[in-house]
Amino acid sequence: MIEIAGLKKKFKLTKDHKKNKVDDIDPREDKDYFHSVRNVSFSCAKGEVLGLLGPNGAGKTTTLRMLSTALKPDEGSITIAGNDIVKKPLLGRKSIGFLSGSTGLYGRLTVKENIEYFAKLHGMSKKDIASRCEELFTMLDMHKFIDKRAENLSTGMKQKANIARAVVHHPDVVVLDEPTTGLDIMTTQTVINFIKGLKEQGTPVIFSTHHLDEVALLCDRVAVINEGVSCFDGTVDEFKKAGNSEELNQAFINILTEKQDV
């Protein structure tokens, strides 16, 4: 179980930003700071998949980077099995498997060498590394390219390898930032099946997406962020009810625009 409560994160504005400021000021901007995340709360229990939704710039990536401990929240708590990982970031790094757009691989190493290397960094034994790699290479359909250098991979192969890297240490919670963006249909399906597999194993999964068909296929819960503030957290059925539509895209638009009587 992971519980996120009252997260806030602001960034100091640079001189360049202030200089290039346009008239249409974002409500999240004050004199010196941009308040990317102003009040975000949601939770995801064992065996649940949560879809994190929001328009471009809503604060999803900033929120997920706080869950990964890459960013320290200004306020709020992130609790996994009773431990606040904001206060215990090392424990957080162990507990969370995080995939972001900038998750990287060493180009000169093969895929297998990369995954083994990150497993070693997590202190896994040789035996555990061998069995975990075999499991992940099968789940993510990677066997055909595990001996290729990472610098020679296609976008889809790279993403699968990055996912394997993110979860190699059996994290308690898996957090994926737009895991299917830019992938072809076959690779998207493999990633969707992989998330289903994590769910079956009881691992809570939180992923951000702009694709509501993925929410329909995978999610038990939905959290919506708009301009850095949580505006919905509940089950998929509650989401449809709150958005007054059986159709997820329409429910999402209605929740954002509060036209819930449409």
Ligand X SMILES: Nc1ncnc2c1ncn2[C@@H]1O[C@H](COP(=O)(O)OP(=O)(O)OP(=O)(O)O)[C@@H](O)[C@H]1O
Does 62 interact with ligand X (rule: CB under 6 A)? yes
Does 58 interact with ligand X (rule: CB under 6 A)? yes
Does 57 interact with ligand X (rule: CB under 6 A)? yes
For residues 14 and 54, give the distance between their C-alpha atoms in angstroms, rounded to a whole number. 25
Does 61 interact with ligand X (rule: CB under 6 A)? yes
Sequence-separated (6 or more) residues with CB below 8 Å from residue 28? 34, 35, 36, 38, 227, 228
Does 60 interact with ligand X (rule: CB under 6 A)? yes
Does 59 interact with ligand X (rule: CB under 6 A)? yes
Q: By C-beta, is 68 or 114 nearer to ligand X?
A: 68
Task: Please state the closest distance from residue 54 (CB atom) to ligand X, in A.
Answer: 5
Does 179 interact with ligand X (rule: CB under 6 A)? no
Residue 222 DSSP class? E
Task: Please state the closest distance from residue 71 (CB atom) to ligand X, in A.
Answer: 9
Does 180 interact with ligand X (rule: CB under 6 A)? no
167: amino acid identity, one letter: V
Q: By C-beta, is 62 or 203 nearer to ligand X?
A: 62
Which of 3, 8, 11, 139 touches ligand X by CB under 6 A? Answer: 11
For residues 28 and 30, give the distance between their C-alpha atoms in angstroms, rounded to a whole number. 7
A 10 A CB-CB count for 188 gives 19
For residues 246 and 176, give the distance between their C-alpha atoms in angstroms, rounded to a whole number. 26
For residues 83 and 230, give the distance between their C-alpha atoms in angstroms, rounded to a whole number. 22
For residues 120 and 126, give the distance between their C-alpha atoms in angstroms, rounded to a whole number. 8
Q: What is the largest distance, in Å, between two alpha-carbon atoms of the chain? A: 60
Task: Please state the closest distance from residue 59 (CB atom) to ligand X, in A.
Answer: 4
Q: By C-beta, is 60 or 165 nearer to ligand X?
A: 60
For residues 167 and 217, give the distance between their C-alpha atoms in angstroms, rounded to a whole number. 21
Q: By C-beta, is 11 or 117 nearer to ligand X?
A: 11
For residues 97 and 143, give the distance between their C-alpha atoms in angstroms, rounded to a whole number. 22
Q: By C-beta, is 187 or 209 nearer to ligand X?
A: 209
User: Which part of the chain contacts ligand X (CB under 6 A), choosing from 60-68, 110-118, 164-172, 248-256?
Assistant: 60-68
Which helix H or strand E contains 233, and what residues bound it?
strand 229-235
Residue numbers 27-56 binding ligand X by CB under 6 A: 34, 36, 54, 56
Residue 82 DSSP class? T
Residue numbers 68-107 binding ligand X by CB under 6 A: none
Q: Which residues bind ligand X (CB under 6 A)?
A: 11, 34, 36, 54, 56-62
